[in-house]
Every structure is written in C-alpha cells, then in structure tokens.
Amino acid sequence: MNKISDKFSSMDNDFLLSEFQQAEVKEKVNQLLRRKKPKPLWREYLEVVLISLAAAIFLRLLVVSAYRVDSGSMEDALFEGDYIFVNKLAYKFGEPEIGDIIIFKYPLDPTKDYIKRVIALPGQSVEIVDKIVYIDNELAHIFPLAKNSDPKILAAQLSSRDNFGPIQVPEGQYFVLGDNRDISQDSRYWGFVPATHIKGKAVFIYWSWEPDPDAPEWHFPYIHSAFHFAYYFLTGIFTHTRWERLFTAL
C-alpha cells in the first residue's frame, strides 16, 4: 500500500514540476516579447515602399514594360497618346502569331522601338496588289481596325505602299504592317523584323491621353516645369483622358 501511495506521490510531483516548467517558459517568452520594441511607423512605411519598389523593378526588368504610342501608324487599334503594357515573356516560350501587335527594335536603328502588327510568318510569301494583302497567294486576314485613308492607288514604280512583292519572308524574320496602312513606315519600306529584335507583345492600354499642342514643355530650371505639368495634369485629367480606351485589350 505504501508503494502505491509513493508511486502516486511521485506522479503528482512530476506533474507539478512539469506545470512549473511550462509556466516558467511562458514567463520567459512574455519577458522577451515585452523587451521587443514595436517598429516605428516610419520604418513600416519604408519597408512597404522598398518591397514595392523591388517588385516593380523585378516586373519592369523581366516581365512587363510600359510604352507610350508616339504616332498614328497603328490607328485605329492604337492612337497617339495611348500608354500600353507589353508582355516581355510572351515569346520566351512561343513564337509570334499573325495578328500579334509587337514591340521591336527598328532594324535600321536598333536604339529606337517600333510597334506594328505581324502580317506574315517566316517562310510565307507576301504580296500587296492595289492595297489588298495576299499571304501564300490567298487573301490575308482582314483586321477590323486596319484602314486605308488615301483612296489613291500608287503604282509599284512610284512606291511600295500599295503594290509590293511577291516576296518570301526569310527564316527567323517577320513581315509587319501598321494598321493605318497609308501612313505607316513598315516592312514595305525597310524590310523584315528579325526575331531577335522583338521585345514583347502589346497586351492592353492602361492609360490614354489625347495629344495637346498647348501642353507644357520641359525647360530649365526643371522644378518650374514640374509644377506646370502637375497643374496641367490635375486640371486636364477629365478633359484629356480618353476614358473609353482604358484597359482595352490588344
């Protein structure tokens, strides 16, 4: 009987010891938490800004780029003053397709970026007869927003604008045209676009600002111009923004 009593007494002691150890550990944890000072508000804001900046730089370098359209050569798909996002990974795992709107380095001056629509792929033949495009001797796909603004037909001896080819697209290169066919400088004039020059695929319009000849210009000292631009933007945001074009898919 004494042995059983001693056994239970030992178990009670072990249980009390265990509870005491747990309480001691909790107290130490609480002490450490009390010693840890909360972050100042400015530091939390700084961390958020730095993380956001790092994410933006990562996206800018590897995933997407933003561009402003500076001409009317892609009307009516893109207008001057449209701001677009370009997917830089679009052709890392695939090839351009007919109808894609692409950003590429201008073959005659790689420091400049151009934007056009892919019309023919490597190995296909292209011919333009009186403004009508043929691919492999068949009528090419007609894009709804492409247009000819000049009713005159120019002979091939005068210009390659309305009569061109036939010519075969070399391997590793693409034939591109602007949607505003009669004013666009494209493959009809300066040749094909090498695949290595393609920077990405236009995805959508994220902002659109109607061009304004009275918009302020940058002049030294630039702080003056910054205030002028800020005032111009705030007072013109509702009248110059083409709201109907925002987030238009391309």
Q: Which helix (H) or strand (E) holds 3?
A: helix 2-35
Q: How distant, in Å, are the alpha carbons of 2, 8, 9, 10, 13 from that of 5? A: 5, 5, 6, 9, 12
To which residue do tokens 């004039």 refer?
A: 189
To which residue do tokens 């505003």 refer?
A: 180
Q: Which two tokens stand for residue 246?
A: 């925002």
Q: How distant, in Å, are the alpha carbons of 123, 129, 140, 146, 189 from that of 136? A: 9, 13, 9, 20, 20
Set 26, 28, 65, 73: catalytic member: 73
> Is 208 among the residues known to form the active site?
no
> Is 39 among the residues known to form the active site?
no
Q: Which two tokens stand for residue 180?
A: 């505003």
Set 10, 71, 116, 160: catalytic member: 116
Q: How distant, in Å, are the alpha carbons of 111, 181, 186, 243 from that of 132? A: 32, 10, 16, 33
Give 118-183 as a DSSP string. EEE-TT-EEEEETTEEEETTEEPPPPTT-B--------TTT-SSSSEEEEEPPTTEEEEE-SBTTT
Active site residues: 73, 116
